[in-house]
Amino acid sequence: MRESTSTTSMVIKAMAFAAEKHRNQRRKDADASPYINHPIALAHTLVNEGGIENPLVLCAAVLHDTIEDTETTADELKGCFGEKITSIVLEVTDDTSLPKHARKQLQIEHAPHISPEAKLVKLADKICNLRDIISSPPAGWPEARKREYFDWAEQVVAGIQGVNSRLEAVFYDLYKRKPEPLSW
């Protein structure tokens, strides 16, 4: 029971930290939903669809955008959550000083070389993003941009094959729902 309690405590601590860091952020969907819904969705996907119970992975999933999208530093994250969780988060963090197209290409190139834990977080992130594009896409995204995102996400996921067959099946089921080009 003690291990379970400490695991739950660690995940709740990560959720509270992420909620505080993302408190003023909104998603790009038409409803401008609270950003914290996204990291929570990753943890939900990992646990309930992937069968992942590793608290390091779950914490990293909840924290995955804190360095990239908030004022959080790697040192701050390390002080609160330790070296391993911070390492996983850093593996999935884009260098925001680079142009968007370069960041996207680097995700494709780096995906095969990240840790298994980071691959799980990356896969859950792509699953949640596809779901969001299908159900509540970013406001103003034309069909072509949605298709481009689906194809880019598939290139990233192709580099992390073998990490969790259940999650991969979920991803590819969603990928089949890629918006089709208009035909005249």
Catalytic residues: 68-69
Burial state string for 87-103 with b = 16 or more CB within 10 A and e = fewer than 16: bbbbbbbbeeeeeeeee
Between helix 37-48 and helix 165-175 the angle, nearest 10°, is 120
- Do residues 21 and 70 make contact, with C-beta atoms less than 8 angstroms apart? yes
Residue 45, Cβ neighbours under 10 Å: how many? 22
Q: Which two tokens stand for residue 74?
A: 């790697």
3-state SS, residue 180: coil
Could you give the residue ranges of the DSSP H alpha helices within 34-164? Answer: 37-48, 55-63, 66-69, 74-91, 100-110, 116-135, 143-158
Beta bridge partners of 26: 34
